């Protein structure tokens, strides 16, 4: 596992921009060359012991991150946690896992077969959380997963990597409101996730979020390449709590809609 939190996020970012070419362009658009503060990243996995949420979390808790919140997504059959670092300038980490046993026997068998191909030693290697797939997958299996769970299909096709990075609007030099960020993105030709409205959340729940729709990349399956949604870029504006400190958690109702940024359009 990494011993340097900055090196870990640098490696995650390099993998992410390979899958999300639009992110580098948005970085320029919003930052005007200045560094952009990353509010959080998100990772996806299955609740199978070898690769579950806790396995991914160890890559961060070993660097000082602490469990800071639990979330449930009943319709999507997911649970999640978020983790924070003692240094508030470090990105938060949001990790979710699919409750595999709540799906059809076919999906369960497919996921267990995929995870069965993962070498246990790989899960503790430095690069595991940006290493992509550790299994073989054909087009028909991907399509079958997609029918039941977009999330399951995404993890099966893209494996272990940041599902998204998130621009901290609070730290942008030239934007204060999420509406203005969204407007700049749309004017530059980026497509936003409009599920539940372009802005998820509100000042009342202390968090506003928006996101692009995922880029498309060609994924090589065992029987040929298919262009599918990859990763997206999120934008978060946080508000102070009654004690004056900025809210650092997540809003499940909003996150539920953000998950849909990887839906095929």
DSSP state of 122: G
- The mean predicted confidence, pLDDT, of the chain is 95
pLDDT at residue number 265:
60
Closest C-alpha among 36, 38, 34, 27 to residue 162: 38
pLDDT at residue number 260:
83
pLDDT tens across 246-264, in order?
999 998 888 878 888 788 7
Give 131: exposed, middle or buried? Use CB within 10 Å, 0-12, 13-18, 19+.
Answer: middle
φ, ψ of residue 34 to 5 degrees: the values are -80, 155
3-state secondary structure of 250: coil
pLDDT tens across 191-205, in order?
999 998 999 999 999
Asked if 205 and 178 touch (Cβ cutoff 8 Å), the reply is no
Q: Which of 92-96, 170-174, 216-220, 259-263 has the lowest mean pLDDT?
A: 259-263
Q: How far apart are CA 208 and CA 144, in angstroms?
A: 34
pTM, to two decimals: 0.96
Q: Which CA distances in Å does 42 have to 32, 92, 165?
A: 25, 9, 7
pLDDT more than 90, % of the chain = 89
pLDDT at residue number 33:
75
pLDDT tens across 145-166, in order?
999 999 999 999 999 999 999 9
pLDDT tens across 119-135, in order?
999 999 999 999 999 99
Fold of 5-259: 2,3-Dihydroxybiphenyl 1,2-Dioxygenase; domain 1 (3.10.180)
pLDDT more than 70, % of the chain = 100
Handedness of CA 120, 46, 71, 177 (dihedral sign): positive
- Model confidence at 239: pLDDT above 70: yes
Report domain extents, the chain. 5-259
């Amino acid at each position: 596992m990494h011993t340097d939190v900055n090196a870990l996020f640098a490696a995650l970012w390099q993998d992410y921009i390979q899958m999300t070419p639009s992110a580098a362009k948005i970085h320029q658009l919003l930052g005007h060359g200045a560094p952009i503060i990353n509010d959080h990243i998100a990772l996806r996995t299955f609740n199978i012991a070898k690769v579950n949420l806790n396995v991914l979390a160890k890559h961060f808790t070993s660097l000082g991150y602490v469990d800071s919140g639990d979330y449930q997504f009943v319709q999507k059959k997911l649970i999640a946690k978020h983790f924070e670092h003692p240094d508030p300038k470090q990105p938060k980490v949001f990790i979710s896992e699919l409750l595999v046993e709540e799906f059809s026997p076919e999906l369960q068998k497919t996921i267990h077969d995929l995870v069965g191909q993962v070498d246990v030693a790989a899960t503790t290697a430095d690069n595991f959380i940006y290493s992509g797939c550790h299994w073989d997958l054909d087009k028909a299996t991907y399509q079958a997963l997609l029918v039941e769970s977009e999330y399951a299909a995404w993890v099966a096709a893209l494996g272990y990597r940041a599902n998204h990075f998130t621009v901290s609007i609070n730290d942008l030099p030239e934007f204060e409101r999420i509406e203005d960020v969204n407007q700049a993105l749309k004017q530059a030709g980026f497509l936003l996730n409009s599920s539940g409205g372009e802005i998820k959340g509100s000042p009342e729940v202390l968090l506003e979020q928006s996101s692009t729709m995922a880029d498309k990349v060609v994924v090589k399956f065992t029987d040929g390449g298919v262009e599918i949604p990859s990763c997206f870029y999120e934008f978060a504006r946080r508000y102070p709590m009654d004690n004056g400190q900025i809210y650092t958690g997540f809003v499940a109702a909003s996150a539920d809609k953000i998950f849909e940024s990887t839906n095929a359009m």
